[in-house]
Structures are given as structure tokens and as C-alpha cells.
Amino acid sequence: MQHLYWKQIIASCLFISISLSGFGQMGGINQPDHDTEKFWSGLYFGIITNNYQYTRGAGFLPGSVLTGQTSKITSEPVPFLHGGIPVSFRLYKNVLFRTGTAIILNSDINNKYIKKGLGPQVFKTSPIFFQVPFAIKYESDRYDVLQFRDAMRHYIFAGATLNYDFSTGSVYYGASASPNTAILKPFNLTYDLGLGLTFVVNDYVRISPELKFSYGFNNLIKPGVSGSPLYNLDKLTSNYVSFSLHIEN
């Protein structure tokens, strides 16, 4: 499993604890009408990793790799920032539909590979993703936490995200600073699974730390690109692990 950035998670939990201590109610219930609201929005920010998953087929079998073709390839993800504006619609008491917009800021993904007869090499991608997620979210009833009444709930969700890479899949070979012909498709569709906790801080703010796993559907390899190190791969998908902090009014 990929690294989950425990420092950021612990810092978020401490922030929530301080918020509850400063604003939590001792006897009343904050936002008592929220469970009947039909629509609301907010914002979120967090850290995400984007990892390429390679499917190696017959082209990687012993004796099948030709001179100049890739015989080994690995991806080294780098954590980077993401944020967005989620919008929620209540479908039923505990069932929500969530969408919105998001962006994943630029960061490098180094891909080390070996071409038969040429030795170790590297190519780098620097994606900037614009995202439109869709999810069905199921949340529990509110319950007490410490001395605060109905101040917390947990939730799970499942859905899909349409991702568009503004770098259009361009690639950098070796130490080159000039982008080369794109070898990846710019559109990426993922299915998402996640869970989180919601803390009702006061009558105005809810804070939700959230963990999400995203798995790519479609093959990102762009066909017909001369010299592509992905030529003899069967499939390449993009997977994400993200931790984020949602703030809603």
C-alpha cells in the first residue's frame, strides 16, 4: 500500500480537536437543521499521489523483447497538492450525491525503464489534472463525541471521476527540459472508493478528513507514437491515493 502521509493526517486530527475544544457545544446541538438541508457546497484541500500501473503482456515474456524495446519499467510517484469545490445534494436522509470540480497541481512522475541493448533510461511526466468527480455518499446518523452532543458522523462513498491532463500527456526524456511528443492520452476515467469522518465544529462549519482510493479504467497509452517506451505494454492506467480535508458551511 502506498504511503499515507501520517504527518498530514495527525496534523489534521489535531486541528479538528482544537476546533472542537474551542467551538464545541456543551449542551446544545450545532446545526440541528443540517440533516434536512437539500443542497450545500464547500471546499477541500489535501495531498495526493498519482501512480502509473503497467500491464505487461506477451511483449515482456522472455525471448519476446526485441532490441530497442522496453524490457523493464517502474513508476515513482511524487506527492503533490490538490483541492476543489465539492457540491452535495441530499437524495434521502442518509444518502447524498456529491459532485463539483477539482484540480491536481503540477508534479513530476519519474518512470525508470530499460530498453534492450540500450540500458537504463528515464522519462518524466508533469500532469496538471482538472477533475469532475461524481459519487454516491452514505453517512451515518450523528452521534456524541467526548462531551459534545451529535457532533460527529462517519461516511463512505463510491463513484467515478473524469480527469483531464492539461499537459496533454507530454513527456520529458532524461534531463531534457523540452517536452516531447505526447505518449499518454489526456483523458483518464477512474472509479473511486473512500471513507471519512465529519465533525460539526459549530453552527457554521463542518470539517471532514477523508481518504480516497481511485483506480483507472481506460488505457492511457497513445498508439502510433514512434520511439515510445510504452510500445510493447498491453495497458497503462493511473491510480491515486489521496488524503484531504473538507470544509463545509
Q: Where are the domains of the chain?
A: 6-248
Dist. CA 35–CA 28, nearest whole Å: 16
Residue 123 has pLDDT above 70, yes or no: yes
Q: What is the DSSP string of 104-138?
A: E----EEEEEEETTTEEEEEEE---EEEEEEEEEE
Identify which of 114, 117, 120 has the alpha carbon closest to the alpha carbon of residue 71: 114
Q: What is the pLDDT confidence band of residue 3, given thresholds at 50, 70 and 90?
A: very low
Neighbours of 204 (CB within 10 A): 11
**Fold of the CATH domain 6-248:** Porin (2.40.160)
pTM for this model (two decimals): 0.81
- What's the whole-number average pLDDT of the chain? 82
Q: Find the mean pLDDT for residues 233-238.
A: 87
Q: What is the pLDDT of residue 159?
A: 97
- How many helices and strands, by DSSP H and E, does the chain display? 1, 13
Q: Find the mean pLDDT for residues 127-139.
A: 92
Q: Which residue has the higher pLDDT, 33 or 1?
A: 33
Q: Which residue has the higher pLDDT, 9 or 71?
A: 71
Grid coordinates standing for 215? 483506480
Tens digit of pLDDT for each residue in 27-52? 578 877 888 899 999 999 999 888 88
- 43, 83 contact by CB (below 8 A): yes
- Looking at residue 36, what DSSP letter applies? G
Least confident of 68-72, 101-105, 207-211: 68-72
For 239, the 3-state DSSP assignment is: strand
Q: What is the pLDDT of residue 107?
A: 66
112, 175, 243 from 121: Cα distances, Å: 6, 10, 32
Residue 226 has pLDDT above 90, yes or no: no
Torsion of CA 98, 15, 11, 245, to 10 degrees: 10
Identify which of 188, 191, 99 has the alpha carbon closest to the alpha carbon of residue 137: 99
